[in-house]
Structure 1
Amino acid sequence: MLTTSVTVCQPGTGNCATIDNIQVDTGSNGLRILASALPARLSLAAVASGSGVTGECAVFGGGYAWGAVRSADVQMAGQLAASIPIQLIADPALPNVPTDCAGSGPSMLSVASLRANGILGVGLFSADCGGGCVNTALPRWYYSCDTSGACLASAQALAQQVTNPVSRFALDNNGVVIDLPAIADAGAVSVSGSLIFGIGTQANNALGGASVVKANRVTGYVVTASAGRTYAQSYVDSGSNALFFNSDQLPQCGYWYCPSSTQTASASIVGTDGATNTVSFEIGNSRTLFASSNNAFDNLAGIASNSFGWGLSFFFGRRVYTAIASRATSAGPGPYFAF
């Protein structure tokens, strides 16, 4: 898991706390922090919904996070996103998880289940739901909750949706770069790299020779073609811990591939404009990797049915750019990935 530290403050004050072990996720948008990770002295005002408060169900591949939406100043590396909506996971003010949310997978409401203190979504969009939630009460998104804790699905204005903090910075607000070193095939115990704000705005975030792959403006998907299959739902996601795709040729060990020897494969990642970037990757034996003392792997691959996930394994040895939708960059407006 790729993690960083985030400073959260009561808006407009010096009442702040720096929270470590926050997962960096290019596959989602917005900051989500476990209520238990915030000190009791840091009180954050709830974002209203009608006469009540806003609750949110955030659904991920590994389960769901439920909590209230609250307003906070978010600081990272000298940048400030002032008074933005964040999700406070397992907020005691909203103890009752709506039935449709609870039915969307395992709960991720504690450090033990979330495996982090929160999630920093620095994906392709400024808000986590966007226009779809503005006029429609979509299931498993936003809720209006009364003082008893009862919640009903509701629409949510764009300005009150959980917000990608980078999009609200005064500078360097058009995307991010994740820069991680290459690692050995056997993996590494730990890896240090950089999360860089902005694309083409500073000397350290220039695109250089990176190839741009434009993403769908609504879903954020690109297309991946590999081994005779085409995956229309393909994504670049630092919040996934491996590569995920479907293969009839590779031996499977539970949820993971486990070839007897490391296999080399290739795939073409295709943008909405037809531009293609061909990528070579390796698939190692998951049992061997998991039996080691290492935690970071560039060749770990798992099973997916109809999508192709370029997870954290893809990021090692690359500079991966994630451009926010409609924001101007030197390669045109987002949303796009580049590497």
Structure 2
Amino acid sequence: MNARLALLAGALALALGACGGSSGGSSAAGVAGTGAPASTPAASTPAASSSSASSTTTSPPASTTGSVAQSTTPNVLPIAVTSTPTSTRNMLMASVTVCVPGTSTCATVNNVQVDTGSQGLRLLASALPAGFALPAVNAGNGSDPAGSCAAFGSGYTWGAVRSADVKLAGEVASALPIQMIADPSLPVTPSACKGFGLAMLNSTVLRSNGILGVGPFGADCGAACVNGPNSSWYYACPSGNCTASAQPLAQQVSNPVAAFATDNNGVVIDLPAIPATGQSNVSGSLIFGIGSQANNALGNATVLRGNSVTGFVSTTTSDGTVYSQSYIDSGSNGFFFANPTLTRCGVWFCPTSPQSLGATLKGVDGVSANTSLSVANATALFATGNWAFNNLAGYNGSAFGWGLPFFFGRRVYTAIQAQTTPAGAGPFYAF
């Protein structure tokens, strides 16, 4: 499996109430329950309340269930953390518009998770209006439609690769290959894809209507799928069955930001600080581009360069533990790391009183940044009824995940590989 899409698949201990994993360096489908976590994440059929999609040629109305009020600034997409139909905490959501390429036939899908740890737009087919049809993308160099398997730490998605004009604020990624999860035109999930665990094929399991992957790479698989068939990724799906297939780069599920005409070298997530007891609703901005406009300037942010294949940086905690596999990921709903001294309630940490830990993040070029994190009792946090927390943390024995709690109160930059920025080419993170 290419490290870029599933850096952490199998590396994170997941539970009903914990999410971390990855398609390209992260996790998607973050899960946070209302009480003590169980052994596996939950999931289910898309409910009407969570799938408010509508045919439109404009931004979604603010009154639509699950929608986020839209911005008039072309490179700013409003994002929010609020209540979810699955009672999942720390889910960063946005609304995404897709159109039949070159037309004004469009649909807006709300409750799409914003994930800096994966690449590409993945939408539940059931979240689109009945009869809304996007053209198929071919597999390899043939004429068979392509199927896509995407592995995350919390499970997998399976669906058709289709072409869409993706509209985010005032930016457009034209004729972009996207994944339509659980597309009824495809046969059942191939066995190799099922090996990645939980089937995230509906809004209950996925805990959203889709994943907007705006991570540090341009495509989900990259050269590993161009050079030959890879059963972890792409399939040719003629009628009745699917077989592993190579996939040219231009036909892979791709990061929409890299396909913009401008503001295409990365993203900035800007979220306000929140109290230690959490907050019921948090609104912020997903800003496209780094150093391309006044609102995305790097300023004096520290730049941490990631591994050119995996995107990983490293973390050293105050107890001396070094995590060579470390990631900054808005799609993980907590901090995830190993600490034998912290009391656990399932996968979550539940210390009797909040604990403050020091840590140093380091890029592959040796540049480092000192920071700290607070870990509170997860059960007590869930009991507040709030939806956003900056101190929710859980166990992961092999990597350090700086999930959504890290993003509150700071601007976090994710630069795309090979794209030029004022600080040089990505991949890198900055804050």
Structure 2-normalised TM-score? Answer: 0.78
Q: 2:248 aligns with which of 147, 150, 157?
A: 157
Structure with the higher fraction of residues in strand conformation: 1
Q: CA deviation at 1:203?
A: 0.6
Q: 2:284 aligns with which of 193, 203, 209?
A: 193
* Structure 1: distance between partners of 2:424 and 2:190: 41
* Structure 1: distance between partners of 2:168 and 2:308: 27
Q: 1:47 aligns with which of 94, 112, 137?
A: 137
What SS is found at the alignment partner of 2:269? strand
Aligned residues of 1:9 and 1:42 also touching (Cα < 8 A): no
Aligned residues of 2:144 and 2:236 also touching (Cα < 8 A): yes
Show structure 1 runs of 5+ residues with no match.
none
* Structure 1: distance between partners of 2:338 and 2:134: 43
Q: String of CA shifts for 1:124-173, please: whole Å, max 9, x gaps.
A: 0010111111112223211111111x111111110000010000111100
1:230 aligned onto 2:230: no
Aligned residues of 1:180 and 1:316 also touching (Cα < 8 A): yes
Shifted more, 259-268 versus 49-58: the winner is: 49-58
1:178 aligned onto 2:291: no
* Structure 1: distance between partners of 2:112 and 2:388: 17
Partner residue, 1:9: 99
Q: CA deviation at 1:42?
A: 2.0
Which structure 2 residues correspond to residues 130-169 of structure 1 after superposition, within 5 A?
A: 130-148=222-240, 150-169=241-260
Q: CA deviation at 1:229?
A: 1.1
Q: 2:157 aligns with which of 58, 65, 74?
A: 65
| One-letter amino acid of the counterpart of residue 214, structure 1 | R
Identity of aligned residues (%): 60
* Structure 1: distance between partners of 2:381 and 2:121: 31
1:112 aligned onto 2:204: yes
Structure 1-normalised TM-score? Answer: 0.98
Partner residue, 1:309: 401
Show structure 2 runs of 5+ residues with no match.
1-90
Q: String of CA shifts for 1:236-281, please: whole Å, max 9, x gaps.
A: 1000000000011111110011110000001111101000111111
1:330 aligned onto 2:422: yes
| One-letter amino acid of the counterpart of residue 298, structure 1 | N
Aligned residues of 1:325 and 1:335 also touching (Cα < 8 A): yes
Aligned residues of 1:52 and 1:146 also touching (Cα < 8 A): yes
Q: CA deviation at 1:86?
A: 0.1
* Structure 1: distance between partners of 2:156 and 2:103: 31
Count of equivalent residues: 338
Q: String of CA shifts for 1:59-109, please: whole Å, max 9, x gaps.
A: 111110000000000001111100010000000011400011112111110
Shifted more, 131-140 versus 305-314: the winner is: 131-140
| One-letter amino acid of the counterpart of residue 165, structure 1 | P
Aligned residues of 2:179 and 2:253 also touching (Cα < 8 A): yes
Q: String of CA shifts for 1:174-204, please: whole Å, max 9, x gaps.
A: 0000000000000011100000000001110
Partner residue, 1:294: 386
* Structure 2: distance between partners of 1:268 and 1:136: 39
Aligned residues of 2:187 and 2:242 also touching (Cα < 8 A): no
Partner residue, 2:174: 82
Q: CA deviation at 1:292?
A: 1.6
Partner residue, 1:36: 126
Q: String of CA shifts for 1:274-329, please: whole Å, max 9, x gaps.
A: 00111111000011011120111100000001100000010000100000001110
Partner residue, 1:24: 114
| One-letter amino acid of the counterpart of residue 185, structure 1 | A
Which structure 2 residues correspond to residues 83-102 of structure 1 after superposition, within 5 A?
A: 83-102=175-194
Q: 1:103 aligns with which of 195, 198, 201?
A: 195
Q: CA deviation at 1:228?
A: 1.6
Q: CA deviation at 1:25?
A: 0.1
What SS is found at the alignment partner of 1:204? helix
Q: CA deviation at 1:41?
A: 3.3
Partner residue, 2:299: 208
| One-letter amino acid of the counterpart of residue 184, structure 1 | P
What SS is found at the alignment partner of 1:192? strand
What SS is found at the alignment partner of 2:282? coil
* Structure 2: distance between partners of 1:244 and 1:138: 29
Q: CA deviation at 1:232?
A: 1.1
